[in-house]
Structure 1
Amino acid sequence: MELAYIPSPSRGVLYLGPVPLRGYAFCIIIGVFVAVWLGNKRWVGRGGRAGTVADIAVWAVPFGLVGGRLYHVITDYELYFSEGRDWVDAFKIWEGGLGIWGAVALGAVGAWIGCRRRGIPLPAYADAVAPGIALAQAIGRWGNWFNQELYGRPTDLPWALEITSSTDGRVPGTYHPTFLYESLWCVGVAVLVIWADRRFRLGHGRAFALYVASYCAGRFWIEYLRVDDAHHILGLRLNNWTALFVFLLAVAYIILSARKRPGREEVVEPGVSDGNGDEGAASVESAAKSDDEKKDEKTSDSAAEGTETTEAPEDKAKSAEKS
């Protein structure tokens, strides 16, 4: 018999013996590992050092989790601070609720701190990790499937999502699987960024801006399908306005950056070869100093030789008398 809908898990927690494994957290963890793995490959390919992406992720990931949770709690404050709600639930991140806008924004702050500590330009790092972030989002969205959340309007399409939970006013039935739509869209975004980066040699943050713009384009129409409670402004959900605003910023950045700084960075990490025999900024500076020092040494040697081979008039006279 043909499957008429996508079933939802009966529970969002699996147990490995006595250890609980929450589907939402598991998806986020897998997404982070994939993002770091792909980011590392791209960073090394751009001339960086292996392991740098993971070192900076130690800063970016915690900041991103905090930012994502803050955005969710602030924009859906009634879920935690209205009458009959327990504000402690705002800290239960494993139950779902991360806003990508806050995650990327505050995650960028963490990445900036890590980049400054390593002497690395943040735009170059962002370009390297951009498609990995999109894949992390694609994997992370399956955490919403475990929690039976973020679904769309009712539908009887063959790929409809079955909702069985009645928690928080959910009505059991079949709905558009917006988590699946966004997951597939994010995979497409990752492929687009990788292709465009190879084809046009994007640099100075433009690959990351392309990821942001293309994600926002998809998020806009996917958000429009959702039926969960949300704040509305002029008939549109808050996240629709956010997606539109961020999309325009990303496009503007691509245009202005391409005019001001075309091409790609020649050096992304100080002291590391870029694969063409050119060393990083620190090595180049050091080499320049060495050349100058060699010139000074040659000049000193030449002066010394001139002094030794040139005899004073008195010495010449004495030599003549002896002869």
Structure 2
Amino acid sequence: MQPPAMPDLFIPSPTVSAFELGPLTIRFYALCILAGIIVGTWLTARRLRARGGTTAQALDTVMWAVPFGIVGGRIYHVITDNQLYFGPGKDPWAALRIWEGGLGIWGAVALGLVGAAIGARRSGVTLAVFADAAAPGLLIAQGLGRWGNWFNNELYGGPTDLPWKLQIHNMNAATGQAVTAADGTPEVLGYFHPTFLYESLWCLAAAALLMFLDRKYHFGAGAVFAAYVVLYTSGRFAFELMRADPANIILGLRVNTWVSAMLLLTGIILFLILRPGPRSFVLDQGRTPVTAPSSNRRGDTP
């Protein structure tokens, strides 16, 4: 008698990416982004307090950084994936429907830093202090936000037979539901590497490593954020090489692969420059930025 066959293992994907709440359509993608913002803000406030700042200063700065970041992320996505919105048969107005998904992290970070600079100046915190405090929380926010891609059945790698392969459905973005076959079952496109999951786990591990390094070694002001750039882009570079979902290609590589490589090199250079410098703190309710020698090794408090 032969033993029973092992079940075919895979990670299922949702067949629904949105639900109705009265007149509103709630997208799980948006909820994942919101969860990341909440957790990231909480951790940022905690770390800023450890540097002599206040929760109010953290919240004031975040209130500027988040909307700028969302706009920047959307602009980057629309520019780098313009074929989704412009051209014959496309709907240009869809570029404004951010709730349907589509944020580019590079644009979000770039314009988010502009918003953070405005908020930090208004609240009496230097941008370097806030950026260092926010870096691990930003990684966690990115890790949680990636689960929005799971609900949307997007951001996957090449086909695979591994036990943790990801089942991908043919999703209708307008309805937020999977397209059904003639027999009423959700249409499955195939089984692929769950690169969204790889990136999510990488972000969470990188956040933990960054907080450990920040406690053990007192990097100069701005160096923690530079280390964030190095950690995230090194992982993102590898995951971009694995991805198989549609993307614009330059010289045989995805646009985000090139961007990851350039930012990785930039992050390494900035880290080497900033690491030996003095570490900044915020005292006197954030009105007087001061520095502490980088040799101080007592942890997160001056």
Measured against the shorter chain, the TM-score band is 0.7 to 0.9
Aligned residue among 80, 94, 97 for 2:99: 94
Aligned residue among 222, 231, 249 for 2:248: 231
Which structure shows the higher strand fraction?
Answer: 2
Question: Structure 1 residue 86: deviation in Å?
Answer: 0.4
Q: What per-residue deviation string (whole Å, max 9, x for no partner) do you get for residues 134-180 of structure 1?
A: 00000000000010111110011111110121659x97110001100
**Cα 1:3–1:42, aligned 2, differ >3 Å: closer, same or farther?**
farther
Question: Structure 1 residue 39: deviation in Å?
Answer: 0.4
Q: What per-residue deviation string (whole Å, max 9, x for no partner) do you get for residues 63-102 of structure 1?
A: 0000000000001111000110000100111111100000
Quote the Cα distance in structure 1 between the aligned partners of 2:35 and 2:265. Answer: 31
Which residue of 2 is the match for residue 264 of structure 1? 279
Alpha-carbon contact 2:220-2:274 (below 8 Å) kept:
no
User: Once structures 1 and 2 are overlaid, which stretch shifts more, 198-207 or 227-236?
Assistant: 227-236
Matched, 1:45 2:59: no
Matched, 1:209 2:226: yes
After superposition, residues 133-152 of structure 1 pair within 5 angstroms as 133-152=138-157
Matched, 1:173 2:190: yes
Which residue of 2 is the match for residue 190 of structure 1? 207
Quote the Cα distance in structure 2 between the aligned partners of 1:113 and 1:214. Answer: 26
Matched, 1:115 2:152: no
Quote the Cα distance in structure 1 between the aligned partners of 2:143 and 2:125. Answer: 28
Which structure shows the higher helix fraction?
Answer: 1
1:148 is aligned with what amino acid?
N
Alpha-carbon contact 1:124-1:203 (below 8 Å) kept:
no
Which residue of 1 is the match for residue 11 of structure 2? 6
5+ residue gaps, structure 1, are: 274-279, 284-323
Matched, 1:23 2:28: yes
Alpha-carbon contact 2:29-2:101 (below 8 Å) kept:
yes
Instruction: Using structure 2 for the length normalisation, give the TM-score.
Output: 0.85
Aligned residue among 147, 151, 158 for 1:153: 158
Which residue of 1 is the match for residue 235 of structure 2? 218
Quote the Cα distance in structure 2 between the aligned partners of 1:188 and 1:118. Answer: 31
Question: Structure 1 residue 19: deviation in Å?
Answer: 4.6
Quote the Cα distance in structure 2 between the aligned partners of 1:45 and 1:66. Answer: 30
Alpha-carbon contact 1:63-1:106 (below 8 Å) kept:
yes
Instruction: Using structure 1 for the length normalisation, give the TM-score.
Output: 0.80
Q: What per-residue deviation string (whole Å, max 9, x for no partner) do you get for residues 179-228 of structure 1?
A: 00000000011011100100102231111111111100000010111112
Quote the Cα distance in structure 1 between the aligned partners of 2:154 and 2:68. Answer: 24
Which residue of 1 is the match for residue 178 of structure 2? none
| Structure 1 residue ranges, 4+ long, deviating more than 6 angstroms after superposition | none
State the Cα RMSD in Å.
2.1
Which residue of 2 is the match for residue 301 of structure 1? none
Aligned residue among 270, 281, 284 for 2:288: 281
Question: Structure 1 residue 258: deviation in Å?
Answer: 2.7
Aligned residue among 80, 93, 105 for 2:110: 105
After superposition, residues 78-89 of structure 1 pair within 5 angstroms as 78-89=83-94
Structure with more contact order per residue of length (Cα contacts < 8 Å, sep ≥ 6): 2
Alpha-carbon contact 2:155-2:243 (below 8 Å) kept:
yes
2:199 is aligned with what amino acid?
E
2:248 is aligned with what amino acid?
H
Quote the Cα distance in structure 1 between the aligned partners of 2:109 and 2:50. Answer: 24
